[in-house]
């Protein structure tokens, strides 16, 4: 490597963007979070108190927690199961592509697709949503999937997220799974271990860091979840999430102080997981 000053030429455009679009605005947002709706008067921690006590925010916190638990569990779990099972069949690539496809389309489109799946009509009318058609065919009453609070509608939204992200988890975990030396698995089987033992004693320990990485990635995404909720319910019937609340405070109510405080809360929630990612990056850097 050579020592010059020319590096600034290469870095300048990036530094401009990073400063103007991320660093400066982030700091500014933190400052604004201590000011009133129009950023004119200093209000101390008032916005934060509102952010942690207002009923709509409490619902949002509860729902984001539900998202973190259910969404992450099902995505990582399904991804792991699919990665292991798909390795045993010849049509692996085909199923992987099918499951991965939702990653390519927008959450808005995914939301419309599932809104149609969840479509609700009264019992006397013909059902046009597949899920309610199945429910009715089985002798049940049509269900308001996006209306029944608090569990059905939130879980219905989370299901859409799982539908979108399972492909990602499957592909990432599968890539790591293929890295397990085949001799290791074979040796264990020859020694009399059954598939269950192989899975828990070899596969899981071997995949530990990948699973941890996928989990943190899922949590970071899910804390920010916005589009799916915005498009499908816009937070109605107790389906509010933090990011949608922030958007509403910013655009609908133009309360920049509270919106900023919510954004800061979101950021603080994400930081621990981001630190894990950075540490892993540094560790990798040290190896090199």
Residues 213-242 interacting with another protein (rule: CB under 8 A): 213-214, 217, 220, 223-224, 226-227, 230-231
Q: Should residue 7 be labelled a site residue for another protein when binding is judged by CB under 8 A? A: yes
Can you list the alpha helix ranges (DSSP code H) found in 38-71?
Answer: 46-53, 55-66
Count of residues engaged in binding another protein, rule: CB under 8 A: 103
Contact code string over 163-182 relative to another protein, x by CB under 8 A = x--xxx--xx--xx------
Q: Should residue 54 be labelled a site residue for another protein when binding is judged by CB under 8 A? A: no
Applying CB under 8 A, among 2, 53, 124, 138 the residue interacting with another protein is: 2
| Minimum gap (Å) between residue 100 Cβ and another protein | 7
Q: Should residue 69 be labelled a site residue for another protein when binding is judged by CB under 8 A? A: no
Phi, psi of 42 (to 5 degrees): -70, 130
| Minimum gap (Å) between residue 124 Cβ and another protein | 13
Residues 261-280 that bind another protein (CB under 8 A): 262-264, 266-267, 270-271, 273-274, 277-278, 280
Q: Should residue 83 be labelled a site residue for another protein when binding is judged by CB under 8 A? A: no
Q: Should residue 99 be labelled a site residue for another protein when binding is judged by CB under 8 A? A: yes
Give the span between the Cα atoms of 76 and 166, in whole angstroms: 7
* Token pair listed for 86: 């798909």
| Minimum gap (Å) between residue 273 Cβ and another protein | 7
Q: What's the angle, vertex CA 86, arms to CA 85 and CA 90, rounded to 5? A: 125
| Minimum gap (Å) between residue 5 Cβ and another protein | 8
Q: Should residue 284 be labelled a site residue for another protein when binding is judged by CB under 8 A? A: yes
Under 8 Å between Cβ of 230 and 244? yes
Per the rule left: phi > 0, alpha: psi between -120 and 50, beta: everything else, 149 is beta
Under 8 Å between Cβ of 103 and 217? no
| Minimum gap (Å) between residue 161 Cβ and another protein | 13
* Closer by beta carbon to another protein, 63 or else 217: 217
Cβ atoms < 10 Å from Cβ of 214 = 23
Q: Is the backbone peptide bond immediately before 68 cis, with ω within 30 degrees of 0?
A: no
Under 8 Å between Cβ of 225 and 12? no
77: Cβ contacts below 8 Å, ≥ 6 apart: none
Residues 102-141 that bind another protein (CB under 8 A): 102-109, 111-117, 119, 126-130, 133
Give the span between the Cα atoms of 179 and 210, in whole angstroms: 11
Applying CB under 8 A, among 191, 194, 285, 287 the residue interacting with another protein is: 285
Q: Which residue has the tokens 């954004």?
A: 263
Burial class (CB in 10 A: 0-12, 13-18, 19+), 209: exposed
Stretch of 55-63, 68-76, 140-148, 254-262 lying at the interface with another protein (CB under 8 A): 254-262
* Closer by beta carbon to another protein, 188 or else 220: 220
Applying CB under 8 A, among 14, 40, 252, 287 the residue interacting with another protein is: 14
Stretch of 9-17, 139-147, 148-156, 181-189 lying at the interface with another protein (CB under 8 A): 9-17
SS3 label, residue 35: strand
């Amino acid at each position: 490597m050579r020592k010059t000053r020319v590096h600034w030429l290469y870095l300048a455009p990036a530094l401009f963007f990073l400063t103007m679009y991320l660093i400066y605005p982030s700091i500014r947002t933190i400052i604004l979070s201590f000011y009133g709706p129009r950023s004119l008067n200093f209000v101390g921690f008032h916005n934060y108190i509102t952010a942690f006590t207002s009923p709509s925010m409490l619902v949002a916190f509860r729902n984001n927690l539900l998202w973190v638990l259910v969404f992450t569990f099902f995505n990582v779990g399904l991804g792991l199961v699919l990665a292991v099972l798909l390795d045993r069949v010849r049509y692996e690539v085909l199923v992987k592509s099918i499951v991965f496809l939702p990653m390519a389309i927008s959450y808005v489109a995914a939301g419309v697709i599932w809104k149609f799946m969840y479509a609700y009509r009264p019992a006397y009318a013909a059902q046009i949503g597949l899920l309610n058609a199945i429910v009715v065919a089985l002798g049940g009453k049509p269900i308001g999937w996006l209306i029944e609070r608090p569990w059905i509608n939130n879980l219905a939204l989370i299901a859409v997220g799982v539908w979108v992200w399972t492909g990602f988890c499957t592909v990432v975990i599968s890539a790591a799974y293929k890295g397990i030396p085949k001799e290791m698995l074979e040796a264990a089987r020859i020694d009399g271990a059954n598939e269950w033992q192989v899975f828990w004693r070899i596969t899981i320990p071997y995949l530990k860091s990948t699973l941890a990485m996928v989990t943190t990635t899922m949590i970071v995404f899910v804390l920010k979840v916005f589009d799916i909720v915005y498009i499908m319910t816009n937070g109605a019937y107790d389906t509010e999430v933090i990011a949608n609340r922030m958007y509403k405070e910013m655009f609908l109510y133009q309360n920049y102080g509270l919106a900023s405080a919510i954004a800061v809360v979101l950021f603080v929630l994400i930081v621990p997981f981001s630190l894990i990612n950075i540490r892993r990056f540094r560790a990798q850097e040290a190896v090199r």
